[in-house]
Structure 1
């Protein structure tokens, strides 16, 4: 029989007396190919003696998946009972063989540790965790984090296992051991989060199951402003913000990059219809970072549109213009505020400066058109409305304003 490549096959197996076809894809996304019974046995026997670690890893996954579908009622895993759960033992043997052939692969250590833990819990439900099993699981997780210098998963997997262990009846009443377990889990998750920031909320939720204390929860957060911003959002979402808002505020002074801390607090205030307090916080931040243009833009918009102190909002924006006179976003915001403040001539002139450098800014064309319409310069207004529509033909608002203007022009002519 010609030699076949493992990567080209899923391994289907149909047990006698069963209509269930059990398959596992060897290495995604290779196509499914069905092997006959004799071909399958030949392939399995060939790979069983392979010196390729990945072959044994795939076989371990294959037998682990078969075991998930194999019914066996048994209280303990012993050699005498091997015939009742043949796939479990084969999976363990192939995991170990893969590790022996390639001990530096963190994936193999993690998979073996997780599988060993899973089958132990399935076989010994309600009994204390065997020290030897726990030691072996911890050893393989430990090997995984030592062998991998960049991947987040070894730290995440080990931390997840420790959090699970901390929640078990075995150690939940042993305070010293519980604290040690949780502290190690937090340290591991913190490193996983440092490598992959998207794991922050997952880590906080796991730790939050053991404590609501602010100073404890922040231990899992690497010193990254964006992560503290996400932490604030978590506290707000879970009803903890009112309790810990002052703690979060006090933490600001220990960081040099403070904008995201203030941003989290101001957004919460604005969502709760307290924009005035948000303005006060942002002004406090601007005393620390007076040249922060995005913060000045935000303050000016809050003052102008939410607090309705239009004069003050324009003054704050004019300071931003002095710091960066050619910034198109500042110029556009300034022209827009002047329009809404009734200064149509000034608004049109500012917005023309924006268009001279960004000819595709249809919002500027539209606002200039509105300004000219307010000034009763209907012909100029029509030209700018048409220009805005040519740049953004899908805007129904622009078209509505143009149609309305033309109706006015026609009415006036009559």
Structure 2
């Protein structure tokens, strides 16, 4: 693990959202832009933030200032749903969800019983996150405890805040990928004790989705959540219509897909449900009442033909939501590309997604979805110092477009429409530079 440099000082143009909001229309009032700002971090946290003119006197003697005069500095991106073992199978052709799992996903995940293989992919995965400006992610591993160890060990090299967990799966999958209710409980318990709250690591109880867990295994997940109330619950919900019909046939005594999880006590303020493309009215209400969160994964939803997720419903129903890349059904690690596809999905629903709202979902809104908005998501003093430096002119086309931008919001929208990992000039984790673009 790298050691934390006591103090860093960063000067440049800063943009963030100061506070969480209840409605999209309120975001504009919370936008904070400092044309010439200074961020001082101490031991990984934000010690001072504000205009350069006011901040110079706060820089300790002997601390050099890293100056980014032409770039834009924003909080690090937060990815609320991604699968690290699926990194190598991104862009797998021609199927929808259930066939895709059987054809591509399960065979790939079998390899992660080998710790050395898991280590190799985990190191690659973490580097891809950093390269794309993602500083925190909620991550699926595989059924193998070795995969969880590999990922947290890789994250610790950068003191990166990741949330992850071993997949629980005891039916409707290859035998090599199935555990049992008791083994799922024991292995998860051991991993929670080993990793949750160690450094910046956090643990998520991770049933893949309702069809691959028996009622007995979901009861064990419920037991874990009761024994460790501050850990997360991370799973999939209402991604695909065939999947929903399958769940209803497997759990006829429940009122619907979400009610399966709710029945076993798996909803709550640290429960994150990926996709939620086809929620029914009572499911939206349950999400709100239990303070559960949604991970919206537009590149995945489009790639697998799952459907169009309505962001406006999250505001109407007051349900927390963050953005997820969902590698490997999703097609890019880049939250900029994810935002671009999210915008297009909303257009197809005859809704708009502004640049500032998109920034909110990718930063502070994502932190709120993960119940981490007291620690992450903006430049407020006391928060953890995870942020990225954006080059708005990484390509000739971007340079031309930025020359004709009509102000900050238009400039940001152009970045979100045309941007990708090439725009990430540097990524800072816990106050230290963890990635610099070549």
Q: Which TM-score applies when normalising by structure 2? A: 0.26
Q: Which TM-score applies when normalising by structure 1? A: 0.27
Larger RCO (alpha carbons 8 Å, 6+ apart): 2
Larger relative helix fraction: 1
Larger relative strand fraction: 2
Q: Of the two, which has the highest radius of gyration?
A: 1
